[in-house]
Amino acid sequence: MLLCGVGLVAGGWIGGRLADGQLDKALLLTLALLCASLIAFCLLAARLPFALALMTLWGALAFALCMLLQTLAIRLAGDAAVQASAFNVGAFNLGNALGAWLAGILLSHGGVLEQTSLLAAGLAGLALPLASLALASAAKPNSACMRA
């Protein structure tokens, strides 16, 4: 857990730095790397050094993603930055609860613990095309996101 915490702190810093640069590319790359690291965790969790390294990486990528999404929400919100930030935090919590619920279903139907990281990778994989569509839509001047 300590290494995951180190990853979270590092990810917060890295995400903040990436958000100041090319936010869209950083967001998509972070999602892709998160997906890949979760698949790697399923495959390598039985080997302690790999499991520890991947937990640290997971923490860094997850928190970097949080910073990137929060920055994007605030940038798109215009005068409603506080509301967008609050909604975004609520969406994070809903996502956490949904992931735990789906993992519980997987485990209650005979799945093993390592498979939960594949489930998480699948959710991150689903987020990639959705994020691409959202970013493309937000970039259009007539986008509903930009009208407010």
Residue 147 has pLDDT above 70, yes or no: no
- Considering the chain, what percentage of its residues have pLDDT values greater than 90? 57
Cβ distance 61 to 33 under 8 Å? yes
Cβ distance 70 to 17 under 8 Å? no
Chain segment 84-107, per-residue pLDDT in tens: 999 999 998 998 899 999 999 999
Closest CA to 131 of 8, 13, 16, 29: 29
Chain segment 18-45, per-residue pLDDT in tens: 888 889 999 999 999 999 999 999 899 8
Closest CA to 72 of 15, 129, 121, 24: 24
Other C-beta atoms lying within 10 Å of the C-beta of residue 130: 10
Q: Give start and end residues of each alpha helix (H) in the chain.
A: 2-19, 23-44, 48-77, 81-108, 115-139, 144-147
Distance in angstroms (rounded) separating the CA atoms of residues 24 and 40: 25
Task: Record the pTM.
Answer: 0.83
